[in-house]
Amino acid sequence: MRELDYRDAIKEACIEEMDRDPRVFLIGEDIGVYGGAFRAYSGLLDKYGPERVINTPISEQAILGGAIGAALTGYRPVAEIMFIDFCTLAMDQIVNQAAKIKYMTGDALNVPMVLRTQGGAGRGIAAQHSQSLEAWFYHIPGLKVVMPATSYDVKGLLKTAIRDNDPVVFIEHKMIYLNKGPVPEEEYTIPFGVADIKREGKDVTIFAYSNMLFKALEAADDLAKEGISCEVFDPRTLVPLDIDALINSVKKTNKLVVVSEAAERGSIASDIMAIVNDKAFDYLDGPIKRVCGLNSAIPYNSKLEQACIPHKESIIKAVKEII
């Protein structure tokens, strides 16, 4: 099968959906000639023109309000917020408007929009450009939260997000845009709420998403050499979450390690632990372990930055503690 960069898979999803549906358009900062901060949209301005690739001033509230208003009136916008850190400038539009409009208007209105953004550490860009804020959105009823790790998943899930009738927060990771992965030529979509077992195993389940998936796979490789068989579970979408698949995996392995790059306090990992405790405690043979980021701002210095986020070694250590 051919291989595509993660960012080219994003572009291909946009092209296919824009060709399929004239209501789909892109809006965001520096997405015109510049092609987006991570160049996922390079060439799209030429292909679709400024009416469908709308390059905006630095106005996060107006970008997302613009997407919401267009969604309310028949369009399907894909709004890009350059860094997830900048979503903080427009939380009213995300939390009080996009997430609530359908519910509070008694289904009179709905908001079919995608908020595309990216987060995560690893580029030495410090505290305001490296956060993992997915838990903020996960917490809000009315938002779907998608965090694909591979080229295959990012393409299939972005197409589904664009077709979804509700607001979707689509979070990429800045360290994986140039990762290559197999993407079929023929069209496909991936439904929300369907996890993917990225590696089958029998001794322990490792729950990991976005860039942490790759750390978990590396850990599983090393542990296999020591005779420990890890099942690497990628939820792909955090809302909706494929709880049944997770519990099935736990039933098989009876052990769970949850990995998340975000600061541990109030994290997705904490909630996954609670869910599995509630629903599958009897299948566990030991405590669930969390491997998370430190409760710290992300530092600039590379040594300090790397110390803030989980690595292969920290995952291996956690697995060994419960094996």
Partner 1 sequence: MEKLSKELQVLMLKKLIEIRRFEERTVQYYQRSKIWGYLHPYIGEEAVAVGACTAIKKEDYIISTHRGHGHAIAKGADLNKMMAELFGKATGYCKGRGGSMHIADTELGMLGANGIVGGGIPISVGAGLSCKMENKGRVILCFFGDGAANNGVFHESVNMSAMFKLPVIYICENNLYAISMCSRDSVAGNDIAGRAKGYGIPGYKVDGSDVIEVFETVEKAVDYARKGNGPSLIEASTYIFLGHHPNDPAAYRPKGEAEHEKSKRDCLTNFKTKLINEKIITEAQIDEIEKDTEKRIDAAVEFAESSPEPELEKFLSEVMS
The letter for the amino acid at 294 is L
Active-site pick, 17, 80, 129, 172: 129
Spatial separation of the C-alpha atoms in residues 219 and 216, rounded to whole Å:
5
Binding residue (CB under 8 A) for partner 1 from 20, 34, 49, 59: 59
Minimum CB–partner distance for residue 134 and partner 1 (Å): 22
Q: How far is the CB of 163 from partner 1 (least distance, A)?
A: 18
* Closest alpha carbon to 71 in 93, 43, 42, 47: 93
From 12-20, 98-106, 249-257, 302-310, span contacting partner 1 (CB under 8 A): 98-106
Candidate list 1, 73, 185, 282; residue touching partner 1; CB under 8 A: 73
Tell me how far, at minimum, the Cβ of 74 lies from partner 1, in Å.
6
**Contact with partner 1 (CB under 8 A): which of 77, 167, 235, 299?**
77
Nearest to 260 by CA among 309, 321, 199: 309
101 contacts partner 1 (rule: CB under 8 A): yes
Query: Which entry of 17, 60, 80, 305 is annotated as an active-site residue?
Result: 60
- Is 69 an interacting residue with respect to partner 1 (CB under 8 A)? yes
Query: 153: burial class by Cβ within 10 Å (0-12, 13-18, 19+)?
Result: buried
Told to judge if 173 belongs to the known catalytic residues of this protein, a careful annotator would answer: no
Given candidates 6, 25, 136, 192, which one binds partner 1 under the rule CB under 8 A?
25
Site for partner 1 contains 93 (CB under 8 A): yes
| Residue (of 147, 172, 171, 111) closest to 242 by Cα position | 147
